[in-house]
């Protein structure tokens, strides 16, 4: 039994699919996605953007394929990146055929919007032939006319009915390698739709609040909506939709998962808001450390607290801790225990070295464990 049962999140049980090498659903870790905003036929710019997202830890990247030029560029893009690529298709079924042949790992498509049954069958066959999965992407802003006429406006029932209609098309063609999303820019609408869909099917769910806004407002909005779903165990893959660079969406996504103890990547900094008791400039210190530790992938925890009121307590719960002291000398904690002092002017460089050392130790331990497991097999 967990010593901290209040932190346990029971994830919804879903079937598992694959987007290229990335498992989605089942007991797989929740994957983090983003989408490029370059012109896909500009291969160099698109690859550069994907690589920045890879550095931030992205698992899956979606690119838009609105025309033949884009699907032609896609063929060159997939060869230059490490993560699986999802081709975003709307209406034009031939773009789906081209994207599958070009190496897309997944097709984001609504089967009911690409024409006749024969065309849908052709797309499904292409997905089967090339090992593509699919994502059915329902959006409150583009619901089918018959559903808007039936319900009067976008609502959870309309969104779920749309998803189920598209799902049935694929199921009737014996295709089950798909995930589903029911996104809306309205937090209440999106959450209610996802909750209903989670009860209606066992397919993996791609969670997001669409068109959430800029970095600050979109992060808050997404955290409220997506956070409540993830806390309830709903969500197998996520995208934080921000009017910001794709790599920023990735960073926010991982911060969200870290906050819920669902996945850990990079340094988790616990810091105080600062007050008159602080022994050093906490805000500036954290700002600098966030930038200098951005390259760390291992899940190191770091507490930066300005005084001794909460500093020792927070340090007990982190790998490395700094607590402000007097006369320009501060206390460093290692493994939760008071260890040594550091001068104010040396603290940032010193902390960076300690974190890098801890990360290297964690990476080495992980590699050793993997080697041992492989040898046992």
Separation of alpha carbons 50 and 28, rounded Å: 23
Separation of alpha carbons 241 and 34, rounded Å: 8
Domain check: are 49 and 179 in the same one? yes
Domain end position, chosen among 234, 259, 284: 259
Tokens 């039936």 identify what position?
A: 150
Report pLDDT for 146.
93
Going from the C-alpha of 266 to that of each of 278, 320, 358, the distances in angstroms are 26, 14, 12
User: Does residue 4 lie within any of the structural domains?
Assistant: no
Number of domains composing the chain: 2
Domain check: are 21 and 90 in the same one? yes
User: Does residue 157 lie within any of the structural domains?
Assistant: yes
Alpha-helical regions (H) of 131-178: 145-151, 156-172
User: Does residue 283 lie within any of the structural domains?
Assistant: yes
Beta strands in the chain (DSSP E): 17-19, 22-24, 31-35, 60-64, 85-88, 106-108, 133-139, 178-183, 206-207, 237-239, 268-271, 301-305, 320-323, 329-334, 337-343
Report pLDDT for 372.
82
Domain check: are 77 and 225 in the same one? yes
Domain check: are 287 and 352 in the same one? yes
Separation of alpha carbons 48 and 32, rounded Å: 18
Tens-digit pLDDT string for the chain (377 aa): 455 677 789 999 999 999 999 999 999 999 999 999 999 999 999 999 999 999 999 999 999 999 999 999 999 999 999 999 999 998 889 999 999 999 999 999 987 778 788 999 999 999 999 999 999 999 999 899 999 999 999 999 999 999 999 999 999 999 999 999 999 999 999 999 999 999 999 999 999 999 878 999 999 999 999 999 999 999 999 999 999 999 999 999 999 999 999 999 999 999 999 999 999 999 999 999 999 999 999 999 999 999 999 999 999 999 999 999 878 899 999 999 999 999 999 999 999 999 999 999 999 999 998 888 777 76
User: Does residue 281 lie within any of the structural domains?
Assistant: yes
| Nearest in space to 91 (alpha carbons), one of 106, 76, 73, 112 | 112
Domain end position, chosen among 235, 259, 283: 259
45 within 8 A of 39, measured Cβ to Cβ: yes
Report pLDDT for 87.
97
User: Does residue 59 lie within any of the structural domains?
Assistant: yes
Separation of alpha carbons 110 and 112, rounded Å: 6
CATH code, domain carrying 74: 3.20.20.20
User: Does residue 6 lie within any of the structural domains?
Assistant: no
Separation of alpha carbons 371 and 326, rounded Å: 47
Burial-class residue 374 by CB neighbours within 10 Å (0-12, 13-18, 19+).
exposed
Report pLDDT for 213.
85
Report pLDDT for 1.
45
Domain check: are 247 and 293 in the same one? no
Q: State the residue range of the domain holding 330.
A: 268-376
């Amino acid at each position: 039994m967990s010593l901290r049962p209040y932190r346990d999140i029971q994830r919804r049980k879903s079937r598992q699919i694959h987007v290229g090498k990335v498992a989605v659903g089942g007991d797989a870790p929740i994957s983090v996605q983003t989408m490029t905003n370059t012109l896909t036929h500009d291969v160099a710019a698109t690859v550069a953007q994907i690589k920045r997202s890879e550095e931030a830890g992205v698992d899956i990247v979606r690119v838009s394929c609105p025309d033949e030029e884009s699907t032609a560029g896609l063929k060159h893009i997939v060869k230059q990146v490490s993560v699986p690529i999802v081709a975003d298709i709307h209406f034009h079924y031939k773009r789906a055929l081209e994207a599958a042949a070009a190496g897309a790992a997944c097709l984001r498509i609504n089967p009911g919007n690409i024409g006749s049954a024969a065309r849908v069958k052709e797309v499904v066959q292409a997905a089967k032939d090339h090992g593509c999965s699919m994502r059915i992407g329902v959006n409150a802003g583009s619901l089918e006319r018959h559903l808007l006429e039936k319900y009067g406006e976008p609502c959870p029932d309309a969104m779920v009915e749309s998803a189920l209609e598209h799902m049935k098309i694929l199921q009737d063609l014996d295709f089950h390698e798909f995930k589903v999303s029911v996104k809306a820019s309205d937090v209440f609408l999106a959450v209610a739709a996802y909750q209903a869909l989670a009860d209606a099917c066992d397919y993996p769910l791609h969670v997001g609040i669409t068109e959430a806004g800029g970095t600050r407002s979109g992060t808050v909005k997404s955290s409220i909506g997506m956070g409540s779903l993830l806390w309830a165990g709903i969500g197998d893959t996520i995208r934080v939709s921000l009017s910001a660079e794709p790599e920023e969406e990735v960073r926010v996504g991982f911060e969200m998962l870290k906050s819920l103890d669902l996945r850990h990547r990079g340094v988790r900094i616990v810091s105080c808001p600062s007050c008159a008791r602080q022994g050093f400039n906490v805000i500036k210190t954290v700002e600098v450390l966030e930038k200098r530790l951005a390259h760390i992938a291992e899940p190191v925890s770091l507490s930066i607290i300005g005084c001794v009121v909460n500093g020792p307590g927070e340090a007990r719960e982190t790998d490395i801790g700094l607590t402000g002291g007097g006369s320009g000398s501060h206390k460093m904690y290692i493994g939760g225990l008071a260890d040594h002092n550091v001068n104010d002017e040396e603290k940032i460089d010193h902390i960076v070295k300690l974190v890098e050392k801890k990360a290297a130790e964690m990476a080495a331990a992980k590699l050793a464990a993997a080697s041992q497991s492989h040898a046992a097999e």
